[in-house]
Amino acid sequence: MNASNSTPDAARELRQVHLTMLAGLVVTGGGFAYLVQTGGALDSSPTVATVVTIVSIALLAFAALVLRPRIPARRSDEAPNAYWDALPHRRAVMALWAVTEVAGVLGAFGYFFTGIVWPVVATGLAFATLLVFRPSSLEGAA
């Protein structure tokens, strides 16, 4: 198909990005868990685990309390594709998802680095946050 004749489906593309971020978090967490179980952690410092967990949860709070309110609900007369075509909506949701992903990867790295499971809580919360802030829930009820 000629690229000039096709129109991108913004809603579908955002759903694909969202699923990719979820999958990336699962693969990263699973990979680090495998490495810890087979090779051991690099350091078992409870202080490092606590700091990483607190930073990860603070990032999640920032995403939920500061970034999420910046994403407007879709108007009832607006199609999902038209909603996601708007650059401000896409920028806001990508910032939300990126901060959430960073929190999850940081938690997974904290587990890999320390072998202590506290940071895994932050990774699980990040995964849950990505599930809650999926494209359909961000659009709002039409």
Q: Is the pLDDT of residue 4 over 70?
A: no
Q: Is the pLDDT of residue 114 over 60?
A: yes
- Residue 29's contacts (CB-CB under 8 Å, 6 or more residues apart) are 104, 107, 108, 111, 120, 123, 127
DSSP structure class, residue 76: T
The pTM is what? Answer: 0.83
The span from the CA of 80 to the CA of 96, in Å, is 18
Q: Which pLDDT does position 133 carry in this prediction? A: 93
Tell me the average pLDDT of the chain. 85
pLDDT digits (tens, 9 = 90+) for 25-43: 888 888 888 887 787 767 7
Q: Is the pLDDT of residue 99 over 90?
A: yes
- Residue 113's contacts (CB-CB under 8 Å, 6 or more residues apart) are 41, 42, 43, 48, 52
Q: Which pLDDT does position 1 carry in this prediction? A: 45
Residue 9: closest CA among 64, 59, 61, 83: 83
DSSP structure class, residue 65: I
Q: Is the pLDDT of residue 142 over 50?
A: no
**63 burial level (CB within 10 Å; 0-12, 13-18, 19+):** buried
Other CB atoms within 10 Å distance of the CB of residue 56 = 27
Q: Which pLDDT does position 137 carry in this prediction? A: 87
* Contact present, 15 and 135 (Cβ < 8 Å): yes
pLDDT digits (tens, 9 = 90+) for 54-75: 999 999 999 999 999 999 888 8
Q: Is the pLDDT of residue 93 over 50?
A: yes
Give the position of tokens 């489906």. Answer: 9
